[in-house]
Amino acid sequence: MSAIGTLTTHHVGINVTDLTRSLGFYADVLGFDVLGEGAEKDSRYAFLGQDGRLVLTLWQQSEGTYDSARPGLHHLAFEAESIEHVRAAEAALTARGATFAYEGVVAHREGAASGGIFFHDPDGTRLEISVPKGAEEAPAPSEAAPTCGFF
């Protein structure tokens, strides 16, 4: 083990252009609780979590849309409890008008039991909701490449 010990992800911070719109997406659609909100000068922020545990921070301090050609976040992946929960998320996102990278649940790779849905938040940030098993019958968008790598 390294001298710094074992690290785990505490939370992920995401820049957004409109905090109110993003709260509608992450809290209302994805079900995160708003743990706190605030403002500092021209920036607004919100802390989102589940069961009192911080998961995401949203920072209204950017302009434009997500750019996959720039260094930084590739995509943010959430794990659901079951494939039924992934499908429920897909229905909620569809009703909200979210854009998807693939149609329906897809496997993480050809023949994999894991898979999920791949979509974008209001600013274009790439997101995934998946399960480690339950997607055995789902198609894979590519035979050789990982599904999450190229959306």
For 115-138, the DSSP string reads EEEEEE-TT--EEEEEESSS-TTS
Three-point CA angle 105, 48, 36, nearest 5°: 160
Mean per-residue pLDDT for 91-103? 96
* pLDDT tens readout for residues 16-67: 999 999 999 999 999 999 999 999 988 899 999 999 999 999 999 999 999 9
pLDDT at residue 142, rounded to an integer: 86
Q: Which residue type occupies 85?
A: H
Asked if residue 100 lies in contact with residue 119, where contact means CB atoms within 8 angstroms, the answer is yes
Provide the whole-model pTM: 0.92
* pLDDT tens readout for residues 110-149: 999 999 999 999 999 999 999 999 999 999 998 888 998 8
Given the structure tokens 């050609």, which residue do they identify? 69
Three-point CA angle 77, 83, 89, nearest 5°: 60
pLDDT at residue 129, rounded to an integer: 97
Quickly count: other Cβ atoms within 10 Å of residue 41's Cβ: 6
Give the separation between CA 6 and CA 24, rounded to whole angstroms: 34
